[in-house]
Structure 1
Amino acid sequence: MVGQIPKETCPRPFLKWAGGKSRLIPQYKTHFPKQYKTYYEPFLGGGAIFFHLHPPAAILTDINAELITTYRCVRDQIEELINLLKEHQKRHNKDYYYDVRAYLGGSNLEKAARFIYLNKTCFNGLYRVNSQGKFNVPLGRYKNPNICSEDVLRAASAGLLAAKIKQADFTDVLNHATSSDDFVFLDPPYHPISNTSYFTGYNGTSFLEEDQERLRDTCAELARRGVKVMVCNSDCELVRKLYNQINFKIYPIAASRSINCNIKNRGMIYELLITSY
């Protein structure tokens, strides 16, 4: 009998990512389409759904240029990247963290190593930039952060080999997904459920109500073509209204929130999983 594949050799996210979907996959499983040929993820982030599904073909995009550079280096230059991360691991301390955070130069490979290093050592793995586009998350409280997970990185590299990776706005998916052979998973910045929950730091701009409407229109066009569409978002009146207007199916999903400035607002909440099929 063939034994199970060791967990560390299975492709899985190599980044910590606020709002990542790894813990929600058990609730998502029954909603994934049974058949498709090409997978699209226009808000790539940590890529938990991509790594879980391990599709035969994929187009992965995100508006975050540094994130896309990092994914490409993981796919194409994994051993060189690991060597740079080992150097970060050796030199890590408080002063070093802030020196690396302040440095914006270097090759794409050096930028990718910087991105992963900061991700593994900053507060809660949060990605946030200021209005000048500079990463500004403080050092996290970790005694011994695992900056270079070699097995995880190599497995992720193997999992990405068949994927096309590029920087693009989410509407770029309309240039590629055209039929029922395509499956598009969209994990956008969530619409705020309170006046204090706007998250504006992902690329220096906000994802506003008009962007949510633009996303809805993109989903409607994809569905018109027969593309299988899955969207997740916050459980709020606006989101329900937008997707009821195009007759998508809406499912409540229980999720745990761990990042909130008010500790009383942490814990179990509901969000929405929305499908065209």
Structure 2
Amino acid sequence: MQPSLFSDLSDLRDRETGAITPFKTQLIKWVGNKQRYADQIITHFPRTYGMYYEPFLGSGGVMANLAPARALGSDVFAPLMEIWQCLAQDPERLKTWYADRWTWFQAGDRLERYEKIKADYNAAPNGADLLFLCRSCYGGVVRFRKKDGLMSTPLGSHPVVKPEKFAQRVDMWVPRVAGARFERLDYLEALARANAGDLVYCDPPYSHSQSILYGAQKFRLEELMEGIADAKSRGVYVALNIDGTKKSGNTYCEIPYPADLFEHEHFVNIGRSMLKRFQMDGQSLETEVVRDRLLLTY
């Protein structure tokens, strides 16, 4: 069902064990980014499937590790999807978006110029500004204020990656998403498009902690579960990444779902909470280790 991967990605899986070869190079920074743990997640995917769907695309870390031959990545957040569509359709333009802003940012007072780019984005949300902001903001936490929806994350203290290094990242990502197309879609519409034998990986915002982040898709958990149940009834494989445990495993996040919807449950250790690090001003957070729950309909 799943065709062979591109020739330059032939080493993606270990031929003997089938384990995924981790791809750690991020294109954009994003809260909830699963790229460092994607190889663990992918071990629970079916070995064969038709088309791959990722309706809460975010930073695309799982897709980049999987490098599917046919895929649809989607989200309702228009500026984010502009970035992915540009990567797929005109990667040189994506490099220029970043280089132009980085050069202007470095040529003056970095704080003032960061705030100017952020103000331009807030006045007219767009992918080009968001691309630079997510790589330069504090902790990569693209946060929006509840009262007015404006991005509020301050400038980070870290060095901002140079254009030539970002261009190298783009070149590494292009073949990994060559089989994908990207659309601005509601997650339920994306789920509804999947056919028998297809695979859908859902990574929605955490119910317990991410209500103000990155223009997150608004969703009701009950509605998501209904969409997953409908997909399962059509023979679609669905993997749901959702809250598991926090406080170093001492707090179990209760997530309501139909008893017969999922066949298996696994836990993935995703390390210390990026959001808590932002909220607690960079503390070491030994007590904020998080494990995600991976629920499978198959």
Shorter-normalised TM range: 0.7 to 0.9
Aligned CA RMSD, in angstroms, stands at 2.9
What is aligned with 1:116? 131
SS at match of 1:242: coil
What is aligned with 1:52? 65
TM-score when normalising by structure 2 = 0.78
TM-score when normalising by structure 1 = 0.84
CA distance in 1, matches of 2:111, 2:55: 34
SS at match of 1:185: strand
CA distance in 2, matches of 1:163, 1:147: 27
SS at match of 2:59: coil
Q: Deviations over 1:215-234 (max 9, x none)?
A: 11111111111111101111
Displacement of 1:26 in angstroms is 3.5
CA distance in 2, matches of 1:122, 1:188: 22
What is aligned with 2:271? 256
What is aligned with 1:128? 143
1:22–1:48 CA contact under 8 A, matched in 2 = yes
1:129–1:136 CA contact under 8 A, matched in 2 = yes
Structure 2 residue 172 is matched with structure 1 residue 155: yes
Moved more, 12-21 or 48-57: 12-21
Structure 2 residue 89 is matched with structure 1 residue 76: yes
Q: Deviations over 1:205-245 (max 9, x none)?
A: 755xxx11111111111111111110111124532x41534
CA distance in 1, matches of 2:201, 2:66: 11
Q: Which amino acid aligns with 2:237?
A: K
2:77–2:217 CA contact under 8 A, matched in 1 = no
**Count of aligned pairs between the two proteins:** 262
Moved more, 182-191 or 120-129: 120-129
Show the 5 A alignment for 1:51-200: 51-92=64-105, 93-104=110-121, 111-130=126-145, 131-142=147-158, 144-148=159-163, 149-180=166-197, 182-192=198-208, 197-200=209-212
CA distance in 1, matches of 2:88, 2:9: 25
SS at match of 1:31: coil
SS at match of 1:97: helix
Structure 1, unpaired ranges of 5+: none
Moved more, 198-207 or 85-94: 198-207
What is aligned with 2:233? 224
1:249–1:274 CA contact under 8 A, matched in 2 = yes
What is aligned with 1:214? 223
| Alignment CA distance shift 1:51-1:175 (3 Å) | same
Q: Which amino acid aligns with 2:243?
A: S
Displacement of 1:70 in angstroms is 1.0
What is aligned with 1:14? 27
| Alignment CA distance shift 1:228-1:137 (3 Å) | same
Taking every aligned residue pair, what percent have the same amino acid on both sides? 24
| Alignment CA distance shift 1:121-1:244 (3 Å) | same
Structure 2, unpaired ranges of 5+: 1-7, 13-22, 245-251
Displacement of 1:256 in angstroms is 0.9
Point out 4+ residue stretches in structure 1 off by more than 6 angstroms.
3-7, 105-108
CA distance in 1, matches of 2:264, 2:213: 30
| Alignment CA distance shift 1:226-1:253 (3 Å) | same
Displacement of 1:151 in angstroms is 1.3
